[in-house]
Structure 1
Amino acid sequence: MSKSKAFKRLVGTTMAKDAGNSKGLSHLYILIWIFTMLTTMLEYWAVIKKKVIYQKMALLDTSMQRVYFSGNRRK
């Protein structure tokens, strides 16, 4: 019981010290967390977009080849 009380007191004092000394630090941690979340979401989105773009490019490439080869055949 005394150990848990001491631990709680220690945690409480450290938390109070953190809150008193560096309020900017907690905000920094939150900002870093948000930034990491956004970057991961952007990475996933970029991967999905890249797949779609590659598919579109492949379609474009095949159509261009068709036009190019059909043009060559006419000559």
Structure 2
Amino acid sequence: MFSVYFFENKDLVLNQLLKNVPSAGDEIKIKGRKGKVLSVATVDENKIYVQVDLEKVTKSKAAALTPLDKKKKR
């Protein structure tokens, strides 16, 4: 078992105990976000740092409110 730490830039995204370590170039899904493994670095015998590039979350804007929608309903 390996303790795998997933980093995006310098931010820790996730750490897991895994039997199989991802390799560079693998497609990965973390917290519902798709990404790609950039690099894998072994720190200790069982401690591995994985640098990932996750897709950016785009928030859709709500429909533009018209003046009638802004009125209070009674």
TM-score band by shorter chain is under 0.3
Higher relative contact order (CA 8 A, sep 6+): 2
Q: Which has the higher strand share?
A: 2
Q: Which has the higher helix share?
A: 1
